[in-house]
């Protein structure tokens, strides 16, 4: 039987010490102010299936099959993909999987989400949570100031956070976004932590510069991205350029409309923008971007009928 590990102390970036806790059974744990108040995982859990006892066995194949079975049936992870993308999985002990599982569980992440996260990033199966995962959680809690109950939302929305380096990636992105204006009421939340995985030089800054190239001032662009943070996640070639071209050439609208409704870039060009514009043109109407796109299909059709009726009534007068 696997023995309980002795309690250890974990040093946070701020210098505080964290005692190893028992795993939480509550999928929605109460909010601690930092990891110093959260629970640390142990390697055993009453919910785990019993393991075979092979303290001195040379049958490594049996142990490996047991580990694969645990990975597929308990964590719902594709073992072939895990072996292909993380060769270290073959030689790691099953306790490695459990320590990662307990780490995620201690942060409020439900077991139902483990499969998706670990299947996307099987390299996580063999990391040391104390040197790799907990520093990321500490950063989100203590520097980004994400409330503890929202940590799980951040990770489920963007599992890539767990494979990013704090010093090389996450902290520089937070600094850039903070200087850009993501402060106060506009601070990074669990809904926008995905911005932290973007490269400043390769992703965030080029999008700011592209929007400026349209004739918008830096202040106008900043106001747009603060109001609609999703702008920083869209592709310049696949989103910005075709939609700007359609706006200017087909819709005959001005760039100034983007300042009033930056959410324009979040709507599908083929699925919503073009079809609605076509209907308006067919009946000789025009609407501001907000009125054209923000309503549901039913509301848009009602508005179109009202406009047509109003046009007919006006022609009778």
pLDDT digits (tens, 9 = 90+) for 87-145: 998 888 888 889 999 999 999 999 889 989 999 999 999 999 999 999 999 999 999 99
**E strand or H helix that includes residue 17:** strand 17-19
Task: Record the pTM.
Answer: 0.75
Query: What is the maximum span of the chain, computed from C-alpha positions, in angstroms?
Result: 97
Residue (of 9, 298, 262) closest to 134 by Cα position = 9
Cα–Cα distance measured from residue 28 to residue 305, given in angstroms and rounded to the nearest whole number = 48
Q: What is the pLDDT of residues 254-272, one digit of tens each?
A: 999 999 999 999 999 999 9
The answer to whether the Cα torsion of 210, 211, 217, 221 is positive or negative is negative
141: burial class by Cβ within 10 Å (0-12, 13-18, 19+)?
A: buried
Q: How far is 280 from 304, CA to CA, in rounded Å?
A: 8
Measured distance CA(63)–CA(94) in Å, rounded: 9
- Of 173, 176, 155, 162, nearest to 122 by C-alpha is 162
């Amino acid at each position: 039987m696997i023995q309980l590990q002795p309690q250890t102390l974990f040093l946070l970036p701020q210098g505080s010490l964290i005692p190893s806790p028992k795993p939480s059974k509550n999928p929605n744990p109460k909010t601690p102010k930092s990891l110093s108040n959260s629970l640390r995982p142990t390697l055993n859990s009453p919910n785990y299936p019993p393991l075979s006892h092979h303290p001195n066995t040379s049958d490594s194949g049996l142990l490996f099959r047991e580990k694969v079975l645990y990975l597929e049936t308990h964590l719902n992870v594709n073992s072939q993909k895990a072996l292909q993308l993380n060769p270290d999985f073959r030689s790691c002990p099953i306790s490695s999987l459990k320590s990662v599982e307990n780490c995620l569980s201690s942060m409020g992440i439900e077991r139902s989400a483990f499969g998706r996260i670990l299947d996307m990033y099987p390299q996580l199966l063999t990391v040391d949570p104390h040197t790799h995962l907990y520093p990321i959680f500490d950063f989100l809690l203590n520097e980004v100031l994400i409330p503890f109950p929202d940590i799980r939302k951040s990770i489920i929305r963007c599992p890539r956070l767990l494979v990013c380096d704090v010093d090389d990636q996450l902290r520089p992105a937070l600094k850039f976004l903070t200087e850009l204006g993501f402060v106060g009421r506009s601070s990074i939340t669990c809904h926008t932590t995905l911005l932290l995985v973007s490269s400043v030089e390769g992703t965030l800054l080029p999008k700011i510069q592209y929007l400026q190239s349209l004739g918008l001032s830096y202040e106008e662009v900043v106001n747009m991205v603060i109001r609609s943070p999703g702008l920083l996640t869209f592709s310049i070639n696949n989103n910005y350029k075709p939609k700007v071209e359609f706006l200017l050439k087909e819709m005959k609208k001005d760039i100034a409309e983007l300042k009033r409704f930056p959410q324009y870039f979040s709507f599908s060009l083929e699925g919503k923008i073009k079809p609605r514009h076509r209907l308006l043109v067919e009946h000789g109407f025009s609407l501001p971007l907000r009125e054209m796109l923000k309503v549901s299909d039913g509301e848009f059709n009602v508005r179109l009928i009202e406009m047509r009726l109003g046009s007919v009534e006006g022609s009778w007068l």
